[in-house]
Every structure is written in C-alpha cells, then in structure tokens.
Amino acid sequence: MAAMDAEAIQELLERRFPDAAELTVEDRTGTGDHFHVTVASAEFDELPLLDQHRRVNEVLADRIADGSIHELRIKTKGTA
C-alpha cells in the first residue's frame, strides 16, 4: 500500500477541523504508516470521547480501510 506523509494527513484534518486550537500529526516510525494525531477543537467540548475519536477516524477512514494507514493513535481534546 502507498504510504502517506504526515503533511497529507495534516492537510486532510485541517480541512475538516479548520478551527482547531491544536492539530499535529506525527509519523511515529518514519515509515509513513504509523501516525499519532492530536486534535484540540471546540467541537469536542461536551462530546463523549468515543464520538471525538469517531470524528477523527472518519476523516481518514478510506486510508485506514485500504491499509495505507496501518496504525492511527488519536488524542483529542476540547478547548473548554
């Protein structure tokens, strides 16, 4: 599967979370398929953790399904 670079993921997430207070993507292994994503957004305030993660997963769903992202670690935060 084609690896992705962290910038491409960052771009996808920025498009989905344009008002994020914090948004970082780290390539954990340097191999373009293990990423650690951190998103802090006001839309996560009051939202259950499961749904926060769902919203991040949704953005990258195709890449997870086709195996180009092998591992996705997610850290979400509200801004309140």
Partner 1 sequence: MKELRDQIEEVIKEEPVALFMKGTPQMVMCGNSYRALNALHAAKAPVTAVDILPDPRIRQELSELSGWPTIPQVFVKGELVGGADIVEELLESGELERKLDGALGDDRSQEVKVVSLELA
Interaction mask 41-80, partner 1, x per CB under 8 A: --------xx--xx--x---x--xx-----xxxxx-----
Q: How far is the CB of 39 from partner 1 (least distance, A)?
A: 12
| Residue 16 binding partner 1, by CB under 8 A | no
Checking 43-48 for CB contacts under 8 A at 24+ apart, the result is 43/17, 43/19, 44/76, 44/77, 44/78, 44/79, 45/78, 45/79, 45/80, 46/78, 46/80, 47/78
Question: For residues 57 and 79, which CB has a smaller minimum distance to partner 1 in the complex?
Answer: 57
Q: Which residues bind partner 1 (CB under 8 A)?
A: 49-50, 53-54, 57, 61, 64-65, 71-75
